[in-house]
Chain A
Amino acid sequence: MTGPFQIGAKVRVSQGLPPGHVRTPQFLRGREGEVIRHFGDFPNPERLAYGLSGLPKLHLYQVLFTMDQTWEGDGAYAPGDTVAADIYETWLEPL
């Protein structure tokens, strides 16, 4: 049971700028990556932060991004370097 995305799925992180407690880093919004791991499901932190139950739980994925696509050359990294982040299903759009 891996939720809506399979390992290897190409995804885009939502561009949204919702108010409140959010666990999706700004620098990855709108970026395209690949699902490399499924961690299971966890209570929604955006609701837990306000004393709510966080239910239903959300699937949590590790998504891999290339440094080059993320920073477009404006950084100190080698061509094959990457950044991985843990992102909840509600922030991911299939490509």
Chain B
Amino acid sequence: MSTHEHHDHGHSPGHSHAHDHTSFQPDIKEPSEDWEFLEIALRELLIDKGVITAREIQDQIETWEKKSPEGGARVIAKAWTDDDFRRRLLEDGNAAVAEMGFEIEALKLVALENTDTLHHMVVCTLCSCYPRPLLGVPPLWYKSREYRSRAVREPRAVLREFGTDLPETTEVRVVDSTADCRYLVIPRRPEGSEGMSEAELAALVSRDSMIGTATAFALDGAGRSG
């Protein structure tokens, strides 16, 4: 069976049409863009020539899919409760998160602390750079042309669409992740969260608050997050 059947239309999702060891079922829709065909051609060549196996590709996908924003939220909760850790995180992100078991190979992890006068919001206008070891696979909107082009030009409009309305006295600093750094936003710790445990605090840290399109969940008077 030819591996080029990936290009055919009409088979149902999940249909296993290839049964040999080179088989690989991508998660994407039927390809239509040039770059999608290029990816398929390159992947099939690498598998056919024995450079990598389909199993290795699948294993990598599953490894990354196991990572989630819960990792980042644990880091933020620790930074909120431990001043020394927060200082280390701001000074050398890679070393600080390594203390918690997170490996960030090759790239420089940079933590950005939000305050009442400075709010960071992260984008990668060139592609989709994202601190995956801490936040998992990025949301589709983060990779969209719309977010990538609008975040740097109309950040206040984008923030409002995420339900984030900041006073003009707060500088919105859009941080374009253009090179070797990966950015993690430390959102402001919600008022009324004094005395909460790290685990309770981590539940207040949304994925979007670590990208900077949102703030951490606020607490109502009864201490519930809303």
A residues whose Cβ falls under 8 Å from a Cβ of B:
23-25, 27, 39-40, 42, 45, 60, 62, 64, 67, 70-71, 74-88
Contact = CB atoms under 8 A, between A and B. Distances in A.
B181 A78 contact: no
B181 A39 contact: yes
B125 A27 contact: yes
B154 A23 contact: no
Interface string B2-14: 0000000000000
6 contacts: A25-B178, A39-B180, A76-B158, A82-B174, A85-B178, A86-B176
B126 A60 contact: no
Given A27-B125, A75-B153, A77-B155, A84 B181 contact: no
Contacts of B169: 80
B143 interface: no
B178 to A, nearest CB: 5
Nearest to A21: B126
A87 B174 contact: no
Most B-side CB within 10 Å, residue of A62, A71, A83: A83
Interface residues of A, dominant DSSP: mixed
B153 A80 contact: no
Contacts of B84: none
Contacts of B174: 67, 81-84
A45 B152 CA distance: 23
Interface string B152-174: 11111110000000001101111
Contacts, number: 84
A75 B88 CA distance: 36
A31 to B, nearest CB: 12
A84 B123 CA distance: 10
A75 B126 CA distance: 19
Given A42-B180, A77-B154, 18 more contacts: A23-B126, A27-B152, A42-B179, A45-B180, A60-B179, A62-B181, A64-B173, A75-B154, A76-B154, A77-B172, A80-B171, A82-B173, A83-B152, A83-B175, A84-B173, A85-B175, A86-B178, A86-B179
A82 B153 CA distance: 10
Nearest to B156: A76
Contact of B179 (A70, A81, A83, A87): A87
B17 interface: no
B173 A81 contact: yes
A25 B126 contact: yes
Contact of B155 (A76, A79, A86): A76
B164 to A, nearest CB: 13
A82 B171 contact: yes
Contacts of A74: 153
B173 A83 contact: yes
A77 B156 contact: yes
